[in-house]
Amino acid sequence: MTKFKQFLVPAVIILMGAGAAFATNTAKVSDSDLVTGYYIDSSTGQCIETNKGCVRVGTDACTWSSHELYELSGTSCVDMLFEPEQ
């Protein structure tokens, strides 16, 4: 019985660690999480739609053809978007 306990405790700890690793793994971005990016036309000040999908939270600015992209809010583009993590 003592050898069984000596085996059981490390096995449980290893399984708990593996479970915690899977539970904290970052989820991949799905298509439903993507937001259409808009850039601001420098000559007109209007928001121009692109075909690029971005996310609302991240570290690297979402860009398209050297333009930073924003989320359309009403008739203006004020919220910066970020590159999706893959």
At 21-55, the pLDDT tens digits run: 655 555 555 666 899 999 999 999 999 999 999 99
What tokens were used for 63? Answer: 């860009």
Round to the nearest angstrom and report the end-to-end CA distance of the chain: 48
Find, among 44, 41, 46, 36, the residue nearest to 71 by Cα: 36
Is residue 53 assigned to a domain? yes
Asked whether the whole model's pTM tops 0.85, one would answer no
Is residue 63 assigned to a domain? yes
Is residue 3 assigned to a domain? no
Q: Which helix (H) or strand (E) holds 6?
A: helix 2-24
Give mean pLDDT, residues 74-78.
91
Dmax (CA) of the chain: 80
Number of domains in the chain: 1
Domain around 46: 31-80
Taking the C-alpha atoms of residue 73 and residue 64, their distance in angstroms, rounded to an integer, is 19
Using an 8 Å Cβ cutoff, are 52 and 37 in contact?
Answer: yes
